[in-house]
Structure 1
């Protein structure tokens, strides 16, 4: 029996699944309560046929994931009012809202300052804050990608085709079959050490699509302290 991890693009999301090959005649798809997707396929099945069947069942898979999602512990939803704290590059910042004739967002002296024409409307504050964080994420992730590529013997060979920033539910990043690096927009809350770990981890998937021994050998060579960084990420973003 062998197992590997793959990612299937579905709409603007990615479905991550563990592929397990067994001596059997049919393919089975299981979604577990922890929202992990397991695909059990015959030893002789081609990747193309497996992806085709998973894609056909993708609506059902997403439905099952959403069903189990309701039982997961949830953090309080943001209300986008003054005094709320937001994490950016590993540090906490308080939200300050002020009335202005033009909308803007800036960071200053431990605060995220939102100047808005409608300070009483949390919906507008929400859009301004989310747009600001998304812009900062795209800029910072691009910077950290170049730094992370330099960890490898041939940085150019480890360049993804595209860097995409998305809202992901259950992972910090992924490398698609088309060599697109997808990062969770919420990762901007982590420190640069933790961000670099996620990016480097995904770059290793350019060489190895699975999480086998070869994958971790490469990750350890280019980032010997990856386990410390991973633990830091989990502490910061818990």
Structure 2
């Protein structure tokens, strides 16, 4: 498959794109990558003018996607899972407190916590651990707590969103939790929705947006105009919610 570079003019902008041809394609496919590249795949022997016309028809959408990817914040520094570090839960920040179970058992003032785990108390995420000096162990305990809470809360929100899309003839498919390094969610080719357990760090409204986004893919498995028209009908405030969710990346 050969690849060539081309461009089209849209207002004052030049939209460059990588063009490849494939015998498997029947229509012109256009995608925007997170690094700002535009990839176009066309059926074999499609005239360049026809490809450029297809790109121009999608120019407004292409510009919005490019602006979206440009607005995504840079990756934050890796977590260290030490006392005093802040972590989010449902949009709020909580400070990490490492509680040694060895020290707790020495206390005669209160009944000690016997099992390792995490408890949310006030402004703190208290991690009860027998290995307080091992950040990786703290990470595993905290991730297990997030996964447990994500499973319960996302089950509730998924049912709510599934009810909202039903009136548009969309039957919500099965879903499951899956940790993904660069995605909040995904609609797979097998027709299953994957949700990142780290969604539990975001506000409930942002969780609903992400679920609605993936449910719209059941009807439109792409990011074309039809997809965004449906999403807008279901959730008119989605651009604002998407921007809020990006802050939790």
Pairwise same-fold verdict (TM > 0.5): yes
Higher relative contact order (Cα pairs below 8 Å, separated by 6+ residues):
1
User: 1:144–1:195: 8 Å Cα contact kept in structure 2?
Assistant: yes
User: 2:19–2:39: 8 Å Cα contact kept in structure 1?
Assistant: no
2:92 matched residue in structure 1: 91
The answer to whether 1:237 aligns with 2:221 is no
1:47 matched residue in structure 2: none
User: 1:99–1:115: 8 Å Cα contact kept in structure 2?
Assistant: yes
In the alignment, the residues of structure 2 paired with residue 184 and residue 137 of structure 1 have an alpha-carbon distance, to the nearest angstrom, of 9
Offset of 1:73 from its aligned partner? Answer: 5.0
Offset of 1:24 from its aligned partner? Answer: 5.6
Q: CA deviation digits over 1:28-85, x for unaligned, max 9?
A: xx997828794735359xxxxxxxxxxxxxxxxxxxxxxxxxxx95422211111110
SS of match in other structure, 2:165 = coil
Offset of 1:202 from its aligned partner? Answer: 0.5
C-alpha distance 181-109 of structure 1, shift in aligned 2 (>3 A)? same
C-alpha distance 200-21 of structure 1, shift in aligned 2 (>3 A)? farther
* RMSD (CA atoms): 3.1
2:206 matched residue in structure 1: 194
User: 1:88–1:189: 8 Å Cα contact kept in structure 2?
Assistant: yes
User: 2:20–2:40: 8 Å Cα contact kept in structure 1?
Assistant: no
SS of match in other structure, 2:95 = strand
Where structure 1 has 5 or more consecutive residues not aligned to the other structure, the ranges are 1-19, 45-71
Pairwise mapping of residues 134-153 of structure 1 onto structure 2 (< 5 A)?
A: 134-153=147-166
Query: After TM superposition, where is structure 1 displaced by more than 3 Å over at least 4 residues in a row?
Result: 20-27, 30-33, 35-39, 153-157
TM-score scaled to structure 2, two decimals?
0.66
Pairwise mapping of residues 27-38 of structure 1 onto structure 2 (< 5 A)?
A: 34=35, 38=39
158, 179, 182: which is aligned to 1:170? 182
Larger Rg: 2
Where structure 2 has 5 or more consecutive residues not aligned to the other structure, the ranges are 1-17, 26-30, 46-72, 102-113
